[in-house]
Amino acid sequence: MFKVTILGFDQAYASAITGVLDIFGLAGVTWQRMQGLPIHPLFEVQIASLKGKSVKCINQLELNSHVSIESLEKTDLLLIPTIGGDPIEVLRNNVALLPHIRKHYALGADIASNCSGAFFLAQAGILDKRMATTHWGYAELFKQLYPNVNLQIDRMITEQDNIFCSGGGMAWFDLALLLIERYAGHDIATTTAKAHVIDISRGEQSAYASLRTKKYHQDVEVLSIQQWLEENYAQKIVVNILCKRVNLTSRTFVRRFKNATEQSPLAYLQGVRVEAAKKHLEASSHSVERIVNLVGYDDLSSFTRLFKKHTGLSPSQYGKKFRR
């Protein structure tokens, strides 16, 4: 059973704590109960705070902690919820939490933050030269305070090494589902989403949240191409094919695609193919060479370079680390 620890502190979002407690605690439980299947809880979930004190959330709800963060020896995942109050004030009042974040990062735990919880990770120094995201409303403040962080404010979720960040305040369920999938596989994540009536929005062959967030625009033609790329990424694709599908000139199409997604069509396609390859590496027994072919590449070495650029690992390393 995987251990999930939620870091508790005053002025946190209550829902970013209690929601995570529910969704992790009921993974492998609710859907199975509904379907008359054996129940298999997969996660042990707990709140940890300084000295084990109760936590007064921003909505004045008071939550009891299960353990003190000082006594926590090891956890698989340490999750920092949304800061509901002023981030600078909350950080100032919780400086004592920072060494514990660094400790569990050094021990190899996955470290995740929701929304403005990323301020804790940045203040702890573990986001330097790494990708991160936070609430769009805090983007400028975050950039001013932490210029060494590669802030991707358009992203709903960022993932680099064993550090995960999610965007706006209620993005905790996006983050939780991604992490449930990381530990327990796609089927458990999907059934957990269904049981809680949550739109997982990550079909088996579609990209993760990085692509979902780039659909929050109003360019209908670009949206149609994004959807088509996610369904047909294994084909041989050139820009002219995409232009013809929406009756635009190459120059106009590329400009509009970049304006809408902040990526070129080629970069977007590469991202889709990398995420598809990750799915195969996690869930199938295919060879790396076969997976490279399945996602639309012929050249193993060039795709390996692309994959490593996106994930920090070679396809073989990724498969060994995450295949379940």
List, in order, residues 6 or more apart from 39 with CB less than 8 Å away.
28, 29, 32, 33
By DSSP bridging, strand 43-49 and strand 157-160 are unpaired
Specify which residues 159 forms β-bridges with. Answer: 164
pLDDT tens digits along 209-252: 334 446 667 889 999 999 899 999 999 999 999 999 999 999 99
Q: What is the per-residue DSSP string for 72-107? A: ----SEEEE--B-S-HHHHHHHTGGGHHHHHHHHHT
Cα–Cα–Cα angle for 77, 25, 109, rounded to 5 degrees: 5
| Beta-ladder partners of 79 | 6, 112
What CA–CA distance (Å, rounded) separates 240 from 295?
Answer: 20
Q: Which residues of the chain have pLDDT under 50?
A: 201-213
Q: What is the pLDDT of residue 324?
A: 64
5-20 per-position pLDDT tens digit: 999 999 999 999 999 9
Adjacent-strand bridge partners of 7: 48
Q: Are strands 55-56 and 62-63 parallel, antiparallel or unpaired?
A: antiparallel
The angle formed by the CA atoms of residues 216, 179 and 30, to the nearest 5 degrees, is: 100
Phi-psi region of 107 (alpha: psi -120 to 50; beta: other; left: phi over 0): alpha
Rg of the chain in Å (alpha carbons):
20
9 φ/ψ sector (left φ>0, alpha ψ -120 to 50, else beta): beta
Q: 184: helix, coil or strand?
A: helix
Under CATH, domain 2-195 is a member of which superfamily?
A: Class I glutamine amidotransferase (GATase) domain (3.40.50.880)
What does the H/E/C string look like for 24-56? HHCCCCHHHHHCCCCCCCCEEEEEEEHHHCCEE
DSSP one-letter code for 116: G
Strand partners, 151: 132
Residues 283/275, Cβ–Cβ less than 8 Å? no
Instruction: Reduce the DSSP state of residue 5 to 3 states and report it.
Output: strand
Sheet with 77-80, strands from edge to edge, namely 67-68, 43-49, 2-7, 77-80, 110-114, 163-166, 157-160
pTM for the whole thing? 0.63
Q: Is the dihedral of CA 303, 318, 168, 106 positive or negative?
A: negative
* Domains of the chain, residue spans: 2-195, 203-324
Task: Using DSSP, state whether 244 is helix, strand or coil.
Answer: helix
Give how far Cα 56 sits from Cα of 4, 87, 91, 101, 119, Å. Answer: 21, 16, 15, 20, 19
Architecture of the domain delimited by 203-324: Orthogonal Bundle (1.10)
pLDDT of residue 14: 94
